[in-house]
Amino acid sequence: MRAKHYPALVGFIVVSFLAAALGSAATAQNVTTWYPTIAKPTWNPPNWVFAPVWTTLYLLMSIAAWRAWRAAATPAAARITLGLYGAQLALNALWSILFFSLHRPDLALVEIVVFLGLLITLFLRFARTDRLAAILWSPYVAWVSFATFLNYTIWTLNR
């Protein structure tokens, strides 16, 4: 890989962590005030798990999207990859706003199902263009699948 490709990778990482910062801002206060007051399943992960998991996932998703973008067969396909990646980042941040800031697990559940569908779509797209990108994307799909079930469970316990 040539050094000229690295600025784009840095760009993917920066944009991804900007989305992470937005989601974190929506989460930060509510994770210590509202979130402890709601009913959660016994298998709910402890709060300290989320930061290292999400940090790892943001890095992996950035590399995966960058690889898939570079591997796109045409400029149009590369633009579609970029657009879908941007859309999933927006949905990622929106979930935190709906769930934590607005205290709406019901709306967050609807949103995360759409979000997960987009992640699966991207996984399939990545698998066609760059196998390693799909492998790097897989933990993200797995975690959001788990988060979807957790969101559903929290919603049912608190309605």
What number is the average pLDDT over the span 14-24? 94
Class for domain 3-158, per CATH? mainly alpha
The per-residue pLDDT for range 86-115, each reduced to its tens digit, is: 999 999 999 999 999 999 999 999 999 999
Q: Which residue, 109, 108, 107, 137, is CA-closest to 122?
A: 137
Residue 159 confidence class, pLDDT cut points 50, 70, 90: very high
What number is the average pLDDT over the span 65-91? 96
Q: Please tell me whether the overall predicted TM-score, pTM, comes out greater than 0.85 for this model.
A: yes
* CA gap 57, 138 in Å, rounded: 10
